[in-house]
Amino acid sequence: MTFEDFNFNTSLHEGLLSMGYKEPTAIQQQAIPVILEGKDLIACAQTGTGKTASYLLPLLELISREDENEISALVLAPTRELAQQIDQQVEGLAYYADISSVAIFGGGDGKVYEQQRSAIQNKVNILIATPGRLIAHLSSGFLKLDHLKYLVLDEADRMLDMGFQEDLMRIMSYLPKTRQTLLFSATMPPKIRTLARSVLNNPEQINLALSQPAIGIDQQVYFVYDEQKIPLIQHILSEGKYNSGIIFASTKEKVKELYKKLKVPAIKVRSFHSDLEQAEREEILLQFRNRQIALLIGTDVISRGIDVEGIELVINYDCPSDPEDYIHRIGRTARAERTGTAITLVNEKDQRKLKNIERLIDREVPKATLPEHLGEPPVFKPVEKKKKSGNQKHKRFFKSKNQKARQGS
């Protein structure tokens, strides 16, 4: 199947070609026809499967057939980073079409709010928003969605995890009851099915969430004591050969601590957390995409909130408590059929977490041998009785000419 099989209008097809789209992914093949038929949809698909384009393309096609200059589609997203990412994708796909969009989200000052308000006044076709900021505009009475025809809930499970359930139901009260609603989620727990029953009308269902990491990811586990974690990361960064990486930590306090200890001239590294101003966060992501920053340290907010190709390394400083978070984290690498490395550091308290991850992905994650100069690792039973993958020889990470700076890391 090719995108030509969907019979998109010429301007949309040109946008596809300009962005390098060639063949539709599995979720796109299944979702696009359903949406074009006007049916409600509940789709379970992991990040990295092309789900954003799977709903944007048919919505752009449907909107292009209309002769209205009103807000026709609303896309709700859990984070400002995802909202901006969706808006950028709309801009690319609709470059040759007369369709406009705007992303509205919190975190800015009064000036940002007024800029968003002014953008809405320009009668955009697609509104992309985070729940809290959208409610602020709706409550003011300024924003009217009377002409809305399409509603998308993107990463619905994440929105519920972040406590947006009441906000979502409040938003529904402002929307026309007759509309097409599309719900996309990486997981399908009972609370998502409850939400789907309350906001969707006889939906079609697509389930592609196999909870399996991409086959191109070289997964590794190191057993370590907490005091060995940072020396091991420093060893990996100095001995590896990766040009772009992300380190995930469980809290923003740990993110800040890691940043201080890994911040050396030899490595262009930045931390990413909620205490940063919105403009600074946007600039960091832009620099990371442009390879001006080699290493990003953050919490799970970036495990789903960014889509950057070419990330070669993911390190889990903390073993995730939720196995699904493990899949989302390591899914930042080996995207678009590329390869990558995912390293998880497991201390003596995290054996149960690791077992839960291995149970979810239905296989054992290979165990790497801790470098001798870092001392003895904690003993894990019965894991140590099983066949180990042996010592994984790391490639060089950064080719630094500054030996002193690297030694100081």
Is 349 inside a domain boundary?
yes
Distances, alpha carbon 357 to alpha carbons 86, 102, 360, 366, in Å: 30, 38, 5, 12
172-202 pLDDT, tens digit per residue, is 999 999 999 999 998 788 889 999 999 999 9
Weakest mean pLDDT among 119-123, 129-133, 309-313? 119-123
Same domain flag for 200 and 247: no
- From 207, 226, 241, give the residue that closes a domain: 207
- Cα 297 off chain centre by: 15
Kindly tell me if the per-residue pLDDT of 406 is higher than 50: no
Last residue of one domain, picked from the residues 185, 207, 229:
207
Which residues on neighbouring strands pair with residue 183, listed in sequence order? 42, 153
pLDDT digits (tens, 9 = 90+) for 154-178: 999 889 988 899 999 999 999 999 9
What secondary structure letter does DSSP report for 292? S
The predicted model gives 361-371 an average pLDDT of: 92
Strand-pairing partners, residue 42, are: 183, 205
Pull the structure tokens for residue 130. 């985070």
Q: Are strands 126-129 and 101-104 parallel, antiparallel or unpaired?
A: parallel
Domain count, the chain: 2
Neighbours of 276 (CB within 10 A): 16
pLDDT band at 400 (very low <50, low <70, confident <90, very high): very low
Are 305 and 363 in a shared domain? yes
Q: How confident is the model at residue 383 (pLDDT cuts 50, 70, 90)?
A: very low
| In a shared domain, residues 221 and 203 | no
Amino acid at 111: K
**Residues 101 and 23 grouped into a single domain:** yes
99 and 200, same domain (yes or no):
yes
Residues 331 and 262 in one domain: yes
* Of 170 and 306, more confident: 170
Task: Give the other-Cβ count within 10 Å of 144's Cβ.
Answer: 13
- Is residue 70 predicted with pLDDT exceeding 90? no
CA distances from 336 to 53, 119, 300 (A): 14, 33, 21
The 3-class SS string of 197-247 reads HHHCCCCEEEECCCCCCCCCEEEEEEECCHHHHHHHHHHHHHHCCCCCEEE
- Say how many C-beta atoms besides its own lie within 10 A of residue 312's C-beta: 20
Residue 279 lies in a domain: yes
Residues 244 and 96 in one domain: no
